[in-house]
Amino acid sequence: MNRLRTGSLTALIISAIGIIYALIMDPAPWVVYGVAIFLIPLFILSVGILSMAEPEEEEADERVNEPFIGY
């Protein structure tokens, strides 16, 4: 596994645990706000990075031969 995939998977697991904790354990309101502000967007970001980290078969050659230079 490369570093991007490992980091994204770690962030996904940590954020999922935090979200489940906030839903089940009923913590103080400031903890719920912290989960809503930081962990829910982190969960969405890590899912997006994990889905983009693995190229489709037809795009694999393009990603290697042509690096992304922006638009």
**In the chain, domain spans:** 3-65
Which comes out higher in pLDDT, residue 1 or 52? 52
The model's pLDDT over 10-61, given as tens digits with 9 standing for 90+, comes to 999 999 999 999 999 989 999 999 999 999 999 999 999 888 877 677 777 7
Whether this prediction's pTM lies above 0.75 is answered by no
Positive/negative CA dihedral, 40, 48, 10, 20: positive
What local confidence, expressed as pLDDT, does residue 57 receive?
75
| Inter-residue contact 8 to 48 (CB < 8 Å) | no
Which of the four pLDDT bands, split at 50, 70 and 90, describes residue 71?
A: low
